[in-house]
Structure 1
Amino acid sequence: MNPIHKKIPVLIHNGKSICESIIGVEYIDEVWKDKAPLLPSDPYERAQARFWADYIDKKLYRSARKIWGTKGEEQEAGKKDFIEVKVLEGALGEKPYFGGDNFGFVDIALIGFYSWFHSYETYGNFSTEAECPKFVAWAKRCMQRDSVAKSLPGQHKVLEFAKILRQKFGLE
Protein backbone atom coordinates (compact mmCIF):
# COMPACT_ATOMS: atom_id res chain seq x y z
CA MET A 1 0.00 0.00 0.00
CA ASN A 2 3.06 2.28 0.13
CA PRO A 3 3.53 3.07 -3.58
CA ILE A 4 7.12 4.34 -3.29
CA HIS A 5 8.98 2.58 -0.49
CA LYS A 6 6.89 -0.63 -0.34
CA LYS A 7 7.22 -0.72 3.43
CA ILE A 8 5.22 -0.23 6.58
CA PRO A 9 3.72 1.55 8.41
CA VAL A 10 0.78 2.51 6.27
CA LEU A 11 -2.51 3.83 7.63
CA ILE A 12 -5.51 2.83 5.54
CA HIS A 13 -8.47 5.18 5.91
CA ASN A 14 -11.50 5.12 3.62
CA GLY A 15 -9.59 2.84 1.25
CA LYS A 16 -6.70 5.29 0.84
CA SER A 17 -3.17 4.81 2.15
CA ILE A 18 -1.31 7.33 4.27
CA CYS A 19 2.38 6.39 4.43
CA GLU A 20 4.99 6.95 7.15
CA SER A 21 4.37 7.11 10.90
CA ILE A 22 4.60 10.83 11.54
CA ILE A 23 2.54 11.70 8.48
CA GLY A 24 -0.09 9.22 9.68
CA VAL A 25 -0.20 10.85 13.12
CA GLU A 26 -0.61 14.30 11.53
CA TYR A 27 -3.41 12.89 9.37
CA ILE A 28 -5.17 11.46 12.42
CA ASP A 29 -4.84 14.81 14.17
CA GLU A 30 -6.42 16.62 11.20
CA VAL A 31 -9.21 14.13 10.51
CA TRP A 32 -10.29 13.71 14.13
CA LYS A 33 -9.48 17.24 15.32
CA ASP A 34 -12.62 17.35 17.47
CA LYS A 35 -11.00 14.71 19.72
CA ALA A 36 -8.02 15.55 21.94
CA PRO A 37 -5.60 17.34 19.59
CA LEU A 38 -2.15 15.86 19.17
CA LEU A 39 -0.46 18.98 17.81
CA PRO A 40 -0.53 22.31 19.66
CA SER A 41 -2.87 25.00 18.32
CA ASP A 42 -0.18 27.71 18.47
CA PRO A 43 1.75 27.79 15.13
CA TYR A 44 5.16 28.19 16.81
CA GLU A 45 4.53 25.37 19.27
CA ARG A 46 3.21 23.21 16.41
CA ALA A 47 6.40 23.91 14.42
CA GLN A 48 8.49 22.97 17.46
CA ALA A 49 6.59 19.69 17.86
CA ARG A 50 7.19 18.89 14.20
CA PHE A 51 10.89 19.75 14.59
CA TRP A 52 11.31 17.34 17.52
CA ALA A 53 9.35 14.60 15.74
CA ASP A 54 11.64 15.01 12.72
CA TYR A 55 14.69 14.92 15.00
CA ILE A 56 13.45 11.69 16.57
CA ASP A 57 12.64 10.15 13.21
CA LYS A 58 16.05 10.92 11.72
CA LYS A 59 18.62 11.08 14.51
CA LEU A 60 17.30 8.67 17.10
CA TYR A 61 16.32 5.90 14.70
CA ARG A 62 19.73 5.85 12.96
CA SER A 63 21.73 5.83 16.16
CA ALA A 64 19.52 3.20 17.82
CA ARG A 65 19.77 0.96 14.75
CA LYS A 66 23.56 1.06 14.99
CA ILE A 67 23.45 -0.09 18.62
CA TRP A 68 21.68 -3.39 18.00
CA GLY A 69 22.51 -3.82 14.33
CA THR A 70 26.29 -3.34 14.19
CA LYS A 71 29.48 -4.10 16.11
CA GLY A 72 32.68 -2.33 17.09
CA GLU A 73 33.29 1.31 16.25
CA GLU A 74 30.02 1.77 14.40
CA GLN A 75 28.11 0.41 17.39
CA GLU A 76 30.04 2.72 19.74
CA ALA A 77 29.22 5.69 17.50
CA GLY A 78 25.54 4.72 17.60
CA LYS A 79 25.66 4.47 21.38
CA LYS A 80 27.25 7.91 21.68
CA ASP A 81 24.66 9.43 19.35
CA PHE A 82 21.80 7.68 21.15
CA ILE A 83 22.90 9.01 24.53
CA GLU A 84 22.61 12.48 23.03
CA VAL A 85 18.89 11.91 23.63
CA LYS A 86 19.63 14.11 26.64
CA VAL A 87 18.81 17.01 24.34
CA LEU A 88 15.23 15.69 24.41
CA GLU A 89 15.28 15.91 28.19
CA GLY A 90 15.89 19.63 27.78
CA ALA A 91 12.91 19.92 25.45
CA LEU A 92 10.77 17.98 27.93
CA GLY A 93 11.86 20.18 30.84
CA GLU A 94 9.76 19.63 33.94
CA LYS A 95 6.57 18.88 32.00
CA PRO A 96 4.95 15.44 32.27
CA TYR A 97 4.70 15.20 28.47
CA PHE A 98 6.31 17.02 25.58
CA GLY A 99 2.98 18.71 24.97
CA GLY A 100 2.80 19.91 28.58
CA ASP A 101 0.07 18.29 30.61
CA ASN A 102 -1.25 16.44 27.56
CA PHE A 103 0.17 13.41 25.78
CA GLY A 104 0.66 14.51 22.17
CA PHE A 105 2.52 14.48 18.90
CA VAL A 106 6.14 14.34 20.12
CA ASP A 107 5.24 11.75 22.76
CA ILE A 108 3.75 9.54 20.05
CA ALA A 109 6.82 10.02 17.82
CA LEU A 110 9.14 8.96 20.63
CA ILE A 111 7.44 6.37 22.83
CA GLY A 112 7.79 3.49 20.36
CA PHE A 113 11.54 3.50 20.96
CA TYR A 114 10.95 2.56 24.60
CA SER A 115 10.18 -1.03 23.61
CA TRP A 116 13.71 -1.25 22.22
CA PHE A 117 15.52 0.16 25.27
CA HIS A 118 16.39 -3.27 26.69
CA SER A 119 17.90 -4.23 23.31
CA TYR A 120 19.93 -1.01 23.13
CA GLU A 121 21.16 -1.52 26.67
CA THR A 122 21.97 -5.19 26.09
CA TYR A 123 23.97 -4.66 22.90
CA GLY A 124 25.33 -1.22 23.77
CA ASN A 125 26.27 -2.15 27.32
CA PHE A 126 24.85 0.97 28.97
CA SER A 127 21.89 2.06 31.10
CA THR A 128 19.46 4.50 29.54
CA GLU A 129 18.13 5.34 33.00
CA ALA A 130 21.62 6.18 34.27
CA GLU A 131 22.35 8.33 31.22
CA CYS A 132 18.91 9.94 30.77
CA PRO A 133 16.80 9.60 33.93
CA LYS A 134 14.18 12.20 32.96
CA PHE A 135 13.70 10.50 29.62
CA VAL A 136 13.09 7.12 31.27
CA ALA A 137 10.72 8.67 33.83
CA TRP A 138 8.78 10.20 30.93
CA ALA A 139 8.66 6.81 29.15
CA LYS A 140 7.38 5.04 32.25
CA ARG A 141 4.70 7.72 32.63
CA CYS A 142 3.65 7.15 29.01
CA MET A 143 3.53 3.39 29.56
CA GLN A 144 0.91 3.93 32.29
CA ARG A 145 -1.49 5.08 29.59
CA ASP A 146 -3.68 2.22 28.35
CA SER A 147 -3.40 3.39 24.74
CA VAL A 148 0.39 3.12 24.93
CA ALA A 149 0.72 -0.01 27.06
CA LYS A 150 -1.69 -1.96 24.83
CA SER A 151 0.03 -0.82 21.63
CA LEU A 152 3.70 -1.56 22.27
CA PRO A 153 5.42 -4.94 22.46
CA GLY A 154 7.29 -5.84 25.62
CA GLN A 155 11.00 -5.10 25.81
CA HIS A 156 11.97 -8.77 26.17
CA LYS A 157 9.95 -9.68 23.08
CA VAL A 158 11.76 -6.95 21.14
CA LEU A 159 15.12 -8.23 22.42
CA GLU A 160 14.29 -11.70 21.05
CA PHE A 161 13.42 -10.08 17.72
CA ALA A 162 16.70 -8.12 17.75
CA LYS A 163 18.60 -11.37 18.40
CA ILE A 164 16.95 -12.96 15.35
CA LEU A 165 17.86 -9.94 13.23
CA ARG A 166 21.46 -9.95 14.48
CA GLN A 167 21.74 -13.64 13.58
CA LYS A 168 20.28 -12.93 10.15
CA PHE A 169 22.82 -10.14 9.62
CA GLY A 170 25.69 -12.38 10.79
CA LEU A 171 26.37 -10.39 13.95
CA GLU A 172 25.92 -13.30 16.37
Structure 2
Amino acid sequence: MAEEVKLFRTWSSRFALRIIWAMKLKGIEYETIFEDLSNKSHLLLHYNPVYKKVPVLVHNGKPISESLVILEYIDETWKQPPLLLPEDPYERAMARFWAKFCDEKVLPPVVDVLVTQGKEQEAALAQHMENMKRVEEELKGKKFFGGEAIGFADIAYGWMANLLSVLEEVTGLKLTDAEAFPAISTWLQSFSDVPLIKENWPPREKLVSKYQAFREKRLALAAEATSK
Protein backbone atom coordinates (compact mmCIF):
# COMPACT_ATOMS: atom_id res chain seq x y z
CA MET A 1 0.00 0.00 0.00
CA ALA A 2 1.44 3.36 -1.04
CA GLU A 3 2.07 5.94 1.66
CA GLU A 4 -0.14 9.00 1.67
CA VAL A 5 1.67 12.17 2.65
CA LYS A 6 -0.03 15.55 2.46
CA LEU A 7 1.23 18.97 3.51
CA PHE A 8 -1.24 21.75 4.29
CA ARG A 9 0.53 25.08 3.86
CA THR A 10 0.29 28.62 2.53
CA TRP A 11 2.48 29.97 -0.25
CA SER A 12 4.51 32.13 2.13
CA SER A 13 4.60 30.25 5.47
CA ARG A 14 8.14 30.22 6.86
CA PHE A 15 7.13 27.35 9.12
CA ALA A 16 5.83 25.25 6.25
CA LEU A 17 9.12 25.85 4.43
CA ARG A 18 10.83 23.85 7.16
CA ILE A 19 8.72 20.83 6.28
CA ILE A 20 9.27 21.26 2.55
CA TRP A 21 13.03 21.41 3.00
CA ALA A 22 13.09 18.36 5.27
CA MET A 23 11.02 16.24 2.89
CA LYS A 24 12.97 17.37 -0.15
CA LEU A 25 16.26 16.56 1.57
CA LYS A 26 15.02 13.08 2.44
CA GLY A 27 13.39 12.49 -0.93
CA ILE A 28 9.87 12.06 0.46
CA GLU A 29 7.06 12.40 -2.07
CA TYR A 30 4.07 14.41 -0.86
CA GLU A 31 1.00 16.28 -2.01
CA THR A 32 0.75 20.01 -1.34
CA ILE A 33 -2.57 21.51 -0.29
CA PHE A 34 -2.56 25.30 -0.24
CA GLU A 35 -4.69 27.04 2.36
CA ASP A 36 -6.21 30.51 2.51
CA LEU A 37 -6.01 31.37 6.20
CA SER A 38 -8.73 34.01 5.81
CA ASN A 39 -11.05 31.21 4.68
CA LYS A 40 -9.73 28.02 6.27
CA SER A 41 -10.87 24.75 4.75
CA HIS A 42 -12.89 22.24 6.72
CA LEU A 43 -10.02 19.78 6.27
CA LEU A 44 -7.50 22.11 7.93
CA LEU A 45 -9.87 22.70 10.83
CA HIS A 46 -10.46 18.96 11.06
CA TYR A 47 -6.79 18.05 11.05
CA ASN A 48 -5.64 20.90 13.31
CA PRO A 49 -8.59 21.80 15.56
CA VAL A 50 -6.33 23.08 18.36
CA TYR A 51 -4.27 25.77 16.56
CA LYS A 52 -6.20 25.97 13.27
CA LYS A 53 -3.06 26.92 11.33
CA VAL A 54 -0.43 25.58 8.96
CA PRO A 55 1.70 23.62 8.52
CA VAL A 56 -0.06 20.32 9.02
CA LEU A 57 1.47 17.07 7.81
CA VAL A 58 -0.99 14.24 7.22
CA HIS A 59 0.66 10.83 7.01
CA ASN A 60 -1.64 7.95 6.13
CA GLY A 61 -4.59 9.89 7.52
CA LYS A 62 -2.86 10.89 10.77
CA PRO A 63 -2.24 14.65 11.24
CA ILE A 64 0.80 16.21 12.91
CA SER A 65 0.99 19.96 13.54
CA GLU A 66 3.65 22.43 14.74
CA SER A 67 6.69 22.62 12.50
CA LEU A 68 9.38 21.49 14.96
CA VAL A 69 7.23 18.56 16.04
CA ILE A 70 6.69 17.65 12.39
CA LEU A 71 10.43 17.77 11.71
CA GLU A 72 11.09 15.27 14.49
CA TYR A 73 8.28 13.04 13.21
CA ILE A 74 9.77 13.09 9.71
CA ASP A 75 13.22 12.18 11.01
CA GLU A 76 11.88 9.31 13.13
CA THR A 77 9.55 7.96 10.44
CA TRP A 78 11.78 8.22 7.38
CA LYS A 79 15.16 7.14 8.67
CA GLN A 80 17.04 7.48 5.39
CA PRO A 81 19.82 10.06 5.32
CA PRO A 82 20.30 12.83 5.88
CA LEU A 83 19.39 12.57 9.54
CA LEU A 84 18.04 15.90 10.80
CA LEU A 85 18.85 15.21 14.45
CA PRO A 86 22.24 13.79 15.47
CA GLU A 87 22.46 10.38 17.14
CA ASP A 88 24.42 11.66 20.14
CA PRO A 89 21.94 12.54 22.95
CA TYR A 90 23.74 15.74 23.95
CA GLU A 91 24.00 16.96 20.37
CA ARG A 92 20.30 16.15 19.85
CA ALA A 93 19.45 18.19 22.95
CA MET A 94 21.52 21.11 21.69
CA ALA A 95 19.82 21.02 18.28
CA ARG A 96 16.43 21.13 19.99
CA PHE A 97 17.61 23.93 22.28
CA TRP A 98 18.73 26.18 19.43
CA ALA A 99 15.58 25.46 17.43
CA LYS A 100 13.48 26.46 20.44
CA PHE A 101 15.64 29.56 20.93
CA CYS A 102 14.85 30.50 17.34
CA ASP A 103 11.08 30.34 17.77
CA GLU A 104 10.88 31.75 21.29
CA LYS A 105 13.66 34.36 21.28
CA VAL A 106 14.88 35.16 17.76
CA LEU A 107 11.65 35.37 15.83
CA PRO A 108 9.44 37.57 18.12
CA PRO A 109 11.64 40.73 18.06
CA VAL A 110 12.04 40.38 14.28
CA VAL A 111 8.25 40.50 13.96
CA ASP A 112 8.17 43.45 16.37
CA VAL A 113 10.67 45.34 14.22
CA LEU A 114 8.33 44.83 11.28
CA VAL A 115 5.11 45.98 12.94
CA THR A 116 6.30 48.88 15.13
CA GLN A 117 8.01 52.23 14.76
CA GLY A 118 9.83 54.77 16.91
CA LYS A 119 11.18 53.75 20.30
CA GLU A 120 9.27 50.47 20.30
CA GLN A 121 10.94 49.49 17.06
CA GLU A 122 14.35 50.59 18.37
CA ALA A 123 13.92 48.35 21.41
CA ALA A 124 12.91 45.39 19.24
CA LEU A 125 15.92 45.96 16.98
CA ALA A 126 18.24 46.09 19.99
CA GLN A 127 16.84 42.80 21.27
CA HIS A 128 17.24 41.25 17.83
CA MET A 129 20.91 42.22 17.78
CA GLU A 130 21.45 40.72 21.23
CA ASN A 131 19.94 37.45 20.00
CA MET A 132 22.16 37.54 16.93
CA LYS A 133 25.21 37.77 19.20
CA ARG A 134 24.21 34.49 20.86
CA VAL A 135 23.60 32.76 17.54
CA GLU A 136 26.94 34.12 16.26
CA GLU A 137 28.76 32.50 19.17
CA GLU A 138 27.07 29.16 18.48
CA LEU A 139 27.99 29.22 14.79
CA LYS A 140 31.65 30.24 15.15
CA GLY A 141 33.92 27.77 13.40
CA LYS A 142 31.01 25.85 11.87
CA LYS A 143 29.55 25.60 8.38
CA PHE A 144 26.17 24.58 9.80
CA PHE A 145 24.81 24.32 13.34
CA GLY A 146 25.63 20.61 13.52
CA GLY A 147 28.87 20.73 11.57
CA GLU A 148 29.26 20.01 7.86
CA ALA A 149 25.66 19.13 6.90
CA ILE A 150 22.26 20.78 7.21
CA GLY A 151 20.36 19.56 10.24
CA PHE A 152 17.45 20.28 12.54
CA ALA A 153 18.61 23.68 13.82
CA ASP A 154 19.59 24.88 10.35
CA ILE A 155 16.11 24.13 9.06
CA ALA A 156 14.62 25.92 12.07
CA TYR A 157 16.64 29.07 11.32
CA GLY A 158 16.34 28.72 7.55
CA TRP A 159 13.74 31.47 7.21
CA MET A 160 16.45 33.99 8.12
CA ALA A 161 18.37 33.28 4.92
CA ASN A 162 15.61 34.82 2.88
CA LEU A 163 13.21 36.72 5.09
CA LEU A 164 15.66 38.98 6.91
CA SER A 165 16.64 40.69 3.65
CA VAL A 166 12.95 40.99 2.69
CA LEU A 167 12.19 42.70 6.01
CA GLU A 168 15.22 44.96 5.58
CA GLU A 169 13.72 46.14 2.31
CA VAL A 170 10.32 46.72 3.93
CA THR A 171 11.56 48.52 7.06
CA GLY A 172 14.71 50.18 5.74
CA LEU A 173 16.62 48.80 8.72
CA LYS A 174 19.71 46.57 8.81
CA LEU A 175 18.93 43.19 10.37
CA THR A 176 22.08 41.37 9.27
CA ASP A 177 25.65 42.62 9.22
CA ALA A 178 28.50 40.58 7.75
CA GLU A 179 31.11 42.60 9.66
CA ALA A 180 29.41 42.27 13.05
CA PHE A 181 28.24 38.70 12.54
CA PRO A 182 30.65 36.95 10.16
CA ALA A 183 29.70 33.42 11.26
CA ILE A 184 26.01 34.10 10.69
CA SER A 185 26.80 35.69 7.35
CA THR A 186 28.77 32.62 6.27
CA TRP A 187 25.99 30.33 7.46
CA LEU A 188 23.32 32.33 5.60
CA GLN A 189 25.30 31.96 2.38
CA SER A 190 26.07 28.27 2.90
CA PHE A 191 22.43 27.48 3.63
CA SER A 192 21.13 29.54 0.70
CA ASP A 193 23.57 27.91 -1.72
CA VAL A 194 22.08 24.43 -1.24
CA PRO A 195 19.98 23.83 -4.39
CA LEU A 196 17.03 22.23 -2.59
CA ILE A 197 16.85 25.27 -0.32
CA LYS A 198 16.93 28.07 -2.88
CA GLU A 199 14.68 26.22 -5.31
CA ASN A 200 11.83 26.40 -2.81
CA TRP A 201 11.90 30.05 -1.73
CA PRO A 202 8.60 31.92 -2.18
CA PRO A 203 8.73 34.68 -4.85
CA ARG A 204 10.62 37.60 -3.34
CA GLU A 205 8.48 40.37 -4.85
CA LYS A 206 5.34 38.75 -3.47
CA LEU A 207 6.94 38.48 -0.04
CA VAL A 208 7.93 42.16 -0.06
CA SER A 209 4.38 43.15 -1.02
CA LYS A 210 2.88 40.85 1.61
CA TYR A 211 5.01 42.15 4.48
CA GLN A 212 4.70 45.77 3.36
CA ALA A 213 0.91 45.44 3.50
CA PHE A 214 1.12 43.64 6.84
CA ARG A 215 3.30 46.39 8.32
CA GLU A 216 1.01 49.15 7.07
CA LYS A 217 -2.05 47.39 8.47
CA ARG A 218 -0.50 46.84 11.91
CA LEU A 219 0.77 50.43 12.12
CA ALA A 220 -2.67 51.75 11.13
CA LEU A 221 -4.34 49.62 13.81
CA ALA A 222 -1.85 50.82 16.41
CA ALA A 223 -2.42 54.46 15.44
CA GLU A 224 -6.17 53.95 15.63
CA ALA A 225 -5.93 52.39 19.07
CA THR A 226 -3.73 55.24 20.32
CA SER A 227 -6.14 57.89 19.06
CA LYS A 228 -9.13 56.45 20.95
- What TM-score, normalized to structure 2? 0.70
Question: Structure 2 unaligned runs (5+)?
Answer: 1-46, 222-228
Question: Which whole-Å CA distance do the structure 2 matches of 1:74 and 1:151 have between them?
Answer: 33
Task: After superposition, give the CA deviation of every residue in 1:126-163 in whole Å (9 maximum; x if it has no partner).
Answer: 25124423212211111111121122225443222111
Conserved in 2, the CA contact under 8 Å of 1:115 and 1:153?
Answer: no
Change (3 A) 1:117 1:12: same
Match of 1:56 in 2: 102
The number of equivalent residue pairs is: 172
Identity in percent: 38
Conserved in 2, the CA contact under 8 Å of 1:86 and 1:135?
Answer: no
Which one of 109, 125, 130 corresponds to residue 173 of structure 2? 125
Structure 1 residue 49: deviation in Å? 0.6
Match of 1:147 in 2: 196
Matched, 1:22 2:68: yes
Question: Which whole-Å CA distance do the structure 1 matches of 2:181 and 2:215 have between them?
Answer: 26
Q: CA RMSD in A?
A: 1.8
Match of 1:3 in 2: 49
Task: After superposition, give the CA deviation of every residue in 1:52-79 in whole Å (9 maximum; x if it has no partner).
Answer: 0000011111011001111122211221
Question: Looking at CA atoms only, which structure, 1 or 2, has the larger radius of gyration?
Answer: 2
- What TM-score, normalized to structure 1? 0.91
Match of 2:159 in 1: 112
Task: After superposition, give the CA deviation of every residue in 1:86-134 in whole Å (9 maximum; x if it has no partner).
Answer: 2111111211110101110000000112222123324162251244232
Match of 2:84 in 1: 38
Conserved in 2, the CA contact under 8 Å of 1:68 and 1:124?
Answer: no
Question: Which whole-Å CA distance do the structure 1 matches of 2:133 and 2:110 have between them?
Answer: 14
Task: After superposition, give the CA deviation of every residue in 1:23-75 in whole Å (9 maximum; x if it has no partner).
Answer: 11111111112321010100011001100000001111101100111112221
